[in-house]
A and B are shown apart, each in its own frame.
Chain A
Amino acid sequence: MTKLKPLPSLRGIAALSGIAMFAVLLLAVAPAVLSDHWLNNLGKYCCWAIAAVGIGLAWGRGGMLVMGQGVFFALGAYAMAMHLTLETAGDRVPGFMVLYDPLAPLPAFWEPFRSAGFTLAAIVVLPVVAAGILGYALFKRRVKGAYFAILTQALAVALATLISSTIRETGGDTGLSDFKFFFGFVLNDPANKVMVYLIAAALLIVCLLAVWQFYRSRFGELLVATRDAEERVRFLGYDPANIKLVAFVVSALMASIGGAMFVPIVGIITPAEIGAAASILMIAGVAFGGRASLFGPALGAMAVGWGQSSLGSTWPDGWTYILGLLFVVVILFLPSGLSSLPARFAAIRRRPAEQPTPPITAAELEEVRA
């Protein structure tokens, strides 16, 4: 350790002040300016943004196209929803279960979710264990690229189907809803709603800080190196599977946290929020904002979330077309998302003839050749 390298710290300060600005906007300005309704909406976008930050890490930096983040979103969401349902039901069996079979007892796997501590632990541990096992199995067998994407998507489809078909255990297609309490706080109380929003927004800031540290760390460099030339990393003595596993598990954890906060804010969780379409929606935001950038995924997810919940309900037909076109246009012409626009304009101004070429990862090329 002889010389200090001053270069990255400058960018580091810029990124940090960006996060700080974002934090002020979300935590101080938004609650003061927005109506309850819009603050609640913003909270929902924050939840999607939390999941998106994780996707940015896994896909943008790690090259793993996670098309089934709905699975981990669901783990957090259903863990939280089960706890809130039990909290609302008190000592009795939740209402929807009674509907199908009045005498049957509470399913055994629901029982531990009575405990707030267990629920909070489950929100963290479940996705880590699930993603750990899945990732270990897939990455060690060198499943990557399109295979990985399709398999994760298949899991999201499978989980959504499973939940749909187990009406008595999970609420099926109608999902879990009508939560009255949030860890003892009455959810109807506007003050408590603001509190729930603030928790979600704060968690988003924490996740941004976490990936910021990831990106500037040696691990971040290693992750990019693995994305661009996995075999080469292997010949440097690292096991790329472990590197990818860490990024994948962290992204799963973030999806779970996003899902957990989604439940008290939106008040309902159904298989539609976690299935293939929902998982693709999460990807859409990340692609739109800029998969490999720090703020791109979060801002993109918020933009798409806004489109989904406002346009999606007032003009559903048009919104689907917009979403489809968004994929086509952004991926085709702007693979690094909106966040790459400033750099692009700068590059065009500097040398008008030369267009920056979209990045092609070695892993992707290898995928075609294999």
Chain B
Amino acid sequence: MTGASLVVTDLHVEFSGFVAVGGVSFDAHPGEVRFLIGPNGAGKTTCIDAITGLTRGTGSARLGETELLGKQVHKIVRLGVGRTFQTASVFDELTVLQNLDIAAGLHRSSVSLLRARRGVDPSIEQALEETGLAGELATPAGILSHGQKQWLEIAMLLVQDAKVLLLDEPVAGMSHDERTATGDLLQRIAVKRIVLVVEHDMDFMRRFATRVTVLHQGKVLSQGTVAEVQADPKVQEVYLGTAGAATAAAMAVVPEAVAETLKLTED
């Protein structure tokens, strides 16, 4: 199953005449942590929305041989494409176990849905171990910390056996240690899966990205490894234009400060 890649070709998304994404192409493969970055309004989240069927897009987004565009949201999920949202969205009233159980229920028969749960699926235990939530099994998701909620979302993607994980700002609002833990987690799960991360946090991107796609005003500005992208004069220009504070070279030198500036201007 390691073969299939996510290939997005010439993706267009329009809102009442406004072109949010105008011809974006990129691909993501199992084994890499792929980052999608860009200033606010660049169309990062809209790309994910289009791939997952939340907004209508034209062009092509293929997982292996299967075209995703034009399919209903839940059918795309059943093909193995899972996503998280900018604001952690878990079922607050249900416990961690119940949240995971619902996510794992995707491939259950309808009859088994009518029965009560009798035990914990092995896949759920595995996901709990992986994300470090094993101790929170019976905790209502609503009282988890912000970081734990994000991990629970990732765990839900794991138990639903997603081949593609589209993560929308997974480390926003996390402490430094939590970011590191999340980054390590992403690199672990990316071994067998496609992981695509939309992020503002440049430091996080530099530490954990395998490859990066930079979007700007709905178009791909640059693509490559972290070093390649940072050396790209077009990227330097865009970030100079929006942040107005530092060159891309300086970004490498004082990462935290610039990342903060970028986040401030973008939020």
Contact = CB atoms under 8 A, between A and B. Distances in A.
B176 interface: no
A33 interface: no
A237 B77 contact: yes
Interface in B216-260: none
Interface stretch (B62-70, B110-118, B177-185, B202-210): B110-118
Interface of B: 52, 72-74, 77-78, 82-83, 85, 89-94, 97-98, 101-103, 105-106, 108, 112-122, 125, 138, 156, 160
Interface string A194-226: 000000000000000000011011110110110
B119 A219 contact: no
B120 A218 contact: no
Given A229-B89, A232-B89, A237 B120 contact: no
A221 B122 CA distance: 20
A213 to B, nearest CB: 7
B164 to A, nearest CB: 13
Contacts of A237: 74, 77-78, 106, 160
A3 B105 CA distance: 17
B73 A234 contact: yes
Given A221-B98, A222-B102, A234 B117 contact: no
A2 interface: yes
Identify whether the interface residues of A are mostly helix, strand, loop, or mixed: helix
Contacts of B90: 232
Contact of A235 (B83, B91, B112, B115): B83
Contacts of B122: 2
28 contacts: A2-B120, A3-B120, A4-B119, A5-B117, A5-B120, A213-B116, A217-B113, A218-B102, A218-B105, A218-B112, A218-B115, A218-B117, A225-B102, A232-B85, A232-B91, A234-B77, A235-B52, A235-B73, A235-B74, A235-B77, A235-B82, A236-B106, A236-B160, A237-B74, A237-B78, A237-B160, A238-B105, A239-B74
Nearest to A234: B73
A370 interface: no
A216 B116 contact: yes
A13 interface: no
Nearest to A239: B74
Nearest to A220: B116
A179 B91 CA distance: 51
A3 B92 CA distance: 23
A8 interface: yes
Given A5-B120, A217-B113, 15 more contacts: A1-B120, A217-B116, A218-B101, A218-B105, A218-B108, A221-B101, A224-B91, A228-B92, A232-B85, A232-B90, A234-B73, A235-B77, A235-B83, A237-B106, A238-B74
A231 B54 CA distance: 9
A217 B112 CA distance: 9
A2 B93 contact: no
Contacts of A1: 118-121
A104 interface: no
B116 A218 contact: yes
A218 B112 CA distance: 8
Max chain B Cβ within 10 angstroms of own Cβ: one of A1, A237, A238: A237
B72 A239 contact: yes
A-side interface size class: 20 to 34
B37 to A, nearest CB: 23
Given A2-B125, A213-B114, A232-B91, A221 B119 contact: no
Contacts of B93: 224, 228
A368 interface: no
A332 interface: no
Interface in A221-278: 221-222, 224-225, 228-229, 231-239
Nearest to A237: B77
A12 B115 CA distance: 13
A224 B142 CA distance: 14
A12 B116 CA distance: 11
Contacts of A235: 52, 73-74, 77, 82-83
Nearest to A361: B93
Given A217-B113, A222-B102, A2 B94 contact: no
B92 A2 contact: no
